[in-house]
């Protein structure tokens, strides 16, 4: 009887883990490239505009990092979007912000980088409106 219960418990655990592992998408994106790109731009703008003294700065930066990772993981190898100008510009902006976060985690963003990112965000939004 003891082996019966241990096998039953093992089976239930395997089924539970299997169902949890197969549920939903592992990232915070929807799969709609245009919508996802605009959502990531919104979060990145918040991260760029956050004040160095803001108590939510760490949470905003963590969310931006997560969105950068999710976006890269989902669309990096997608041949349907890799040739779009909005994607290449977006990757440039993602790399610039992620590079600053990894190299200078405790320093505020320089104004030159903020200006460059804002320009790239505007280019991404314009390209998305045009369908590129």
**H helix count then E strand count, the chain:** 5, 0
Q: What does R_g of the chain's alpha carbons equal in angstroms?
A: 20
First to last CA, the chain: 65
Q: What is 30-130's CATH superfamily?
A: Photosystem II Pbs27 (1.20.58.810)
Domain limits, the chain: 30-130
Q: What is the pTM of this model?
A: 0.76
Per-residue pLDDT of the chain (132 residues; tens, 9 = 90+): 777 776 766 666 666 666 565 544 556 788 899 999 999 999 999 999 998 889 999 999 999 999 999 999 999 888 889 889 999 999 999 999 999 999 998 888 999 999 999 999 999 999 999 988
- What the block records as the tokens of 33 is 């490239």
């Amino acid at each position: 009887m003891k082996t019966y219960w241990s096998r039953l418990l093992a089976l239930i655990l395997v089924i539970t883990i299997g169902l949890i592992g197969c549920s939903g998408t592992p990232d915070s994106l929807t799969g709609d490239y245009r919508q996802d790109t605009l959502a990531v731009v919104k979060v990145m703008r918040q991260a760029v505009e956050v004040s160095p003294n803001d108590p939510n700065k760490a949470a905003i930066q963590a969310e931006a990092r997560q969105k950068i990772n999710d976006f890269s993981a989902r669309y990096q190898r997608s041949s349907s979007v890799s040739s779009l100008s909005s994607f290449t510009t977006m990757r440039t902006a993602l790399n610039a912000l992620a590079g600053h976060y990894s190299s200078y985690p405790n320093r505020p963003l320089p104004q030159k980088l903020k200006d460059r990112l804002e320009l790239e965000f505007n280019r991404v939004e314009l390209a998305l409106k045009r369908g590129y």
